[in-house]
Amino acid sequence: MKKENNDEKEFIKGYDITKYERPSIAADIAVFSIMPDEKDNYRKLPEQKLRLLLIRRGAHPFRNDWALPGGFARKGETVRETASRELFEETHIKRAYMELVDVYSDKDRDPRGWIISNTFMALMDGNKCKHRAGDDASEAQWFDIELEKEAEERNFLKGEDSIEIDTVYCLKLSCEDIKLSSRVKEIKSYQDYHESVSYNILESGGLAFDHAMIIVCALKKLREITEIDGRITFNLMPEYFTLTQLQKAFETILDEELLAANFRRKIAGLVNETDKVLEGAGHRPAKLFKRNVEAFYKSR
């Protein structure tokens, strides 16, 4: 930190920090995990499901609606420290992959007032998670998550180089008999060779605040990073896994099938074979692998 000269010290001493309106700062976390489907056929390896951790709000506003885990920043905390603290309170996991999704600051996003959310995406092995409800939550549950493109419309604006693409997404979340369904409209504008993106919530479907929009953004970001650098997917895996389990994790995130031969060639340098095997009734033993740690020290 640079030294302050006398003039600067006097300026800081006399500065009125209340001169400008100040928002409350919060951190929300979209916590993703890959988990086996417990209802699957015992003769096959369980199908992998992408899941999202949600809490049911126990207090106003949006009491009894479902929301992302999160909370307000404490004095002296960075927003990342706030997110890490909230994540630990909800999952009892101290270290997890976290990446900023975006900052949400619309003045009407929270009826309590001007509250800016710094939203992070967290990835973890959900089997290690001991999820529990925090201060303003009545319960916490893992939800299966699906995102479908419902409609897309392209409109040319002024000139041939300007276009607007409106896409409506249907977000489906399910946990046993709880079914949530939201619709979010994404508006992409390309003008003067620059892109701008905005979102409108058409139906919140039992999700609090603007969290339907945030979840859509977080899942889209997870897919985009996975396509660019598949190493992010390993944060969803247990320490030991089969190559089939790893491939299914990729397919679950990307929502598309991958050719096994191409996939195994692509990730060959990211995994190390172990002398362990996965055994279970109804299917053949499968070799277990773990991540090649050296490959993960390389920058993206």
Q: What tokens were used for 238? A: 């247990």
Reduced to 3 states (helix: H, G, I; strand: E, B; else coil), residue 207 is strand
- In the numeric block, the tokens 């660019």 are attached to 228
Residues β-bridged to residue 157: none
Please report, as a single letter, which amino acid is at residue 74: R
Using CA of residue 219, residue 31, residue 86, residue 225, what is the dihedral sign? negative
Nearest to 220 by CA among 265, 182, 255, 249: 255
The angle at the Cα of 116, spanning 88 to 76, to the nearest 5 degrees, equals: 55
89 is catalytic: no
Q: Which of 139, 148, 150, 294 is catalytic?
A: 139
Q: What tokens were used for 30? A: 């979209």
Start-to-end Cα distance in the chain:
29
Helix axes 211-228, 243-254, angle to 10 degrees: 130
DSSP symbol at 47 = P
Cβ neighbours for 35, distance < 8 A, ≥ 6 positions apart: 48, 49, 51, 126, 127, 142
- DSSP strands (E only) in the chain: 24-36, 48-57, 66-67, 70-72, 97-104, 115-123, 137-156, 163-175, 178-191, 194-203, 271-280, 283-291
The angle at the Cα of 55, spanning 53 to 58, to the nearest 5 degrees, equals: 175
The catalytic site residues sit at: 139
